[in-house]
Homo-oligomer: A and B are copies of this chain.
Amino acid sequence: MPPNLQPTFRALSDPTRRNILRMLGQRDMTIAEVSAQFDMTRAAVKKHLVVLSDGGLITVRTEGRERINTLNAQALKPVTDWLSWFERFWDTHLDALKDAIETEDTELEKDTKDDTGHHTND
């Protein structure tokens, strides 16, 4: 059972945060280093980092008085998995996946309070 997608999708919904992920994909950075790349205060960047952390997309380790932010790209896997369900609509060379897809059809997302699960499809 995949973890809740919502915090991760939420984290990805902001361009600043997406850019931070790309930056951290190149090297670990302190908050100050990340902040230096943007036209906003350190506090604002810090907020973004918290959201990214909530989404599991980064981890933070303390090193002296610094906080090193590290990309945790594995947290993107549930997102790509969710998206892969739709690949059938543009990708034609799908074969073995069909079965897995079909069985997964009826299970829609149940990751937040407002998911009522009313889907009476099928």
Determine the interface band of chain A, counting residues with CB < 8 A from chain B: 35 or more
User: Which of the residues B10, B21, B108 comes within 8 Å of A22, measured between beta carbons?
Assistant: B108
Q: How far is the CA of A16 from the CA of B9 in the complex (A)?
A: 12
- In the complex, A2 has a CB within 8 A of chain B: no
Interface string of A44-58 (1 = CB under 8 A from B): 000000000000000
Are B86 and A83 neighbours in the complex by a CB distance under 8 Å? no
Is residue A109 contacting chain B, with contact meaning CB distance below 8 A? yes
Copies of the polypeptide in the assembly: 2
A38 in complex: contacting residue of B16, B18, B112, B116, CB < 8 Å: B116
**Chain B CB within 8 A of A66 CB:** no
A37-B118, A37-B120, A109-B15 known; A71+B83 contact, CB < 8 A: no
Contacting residue for A18 out of B22, B89, B109, CB 8 A: B109
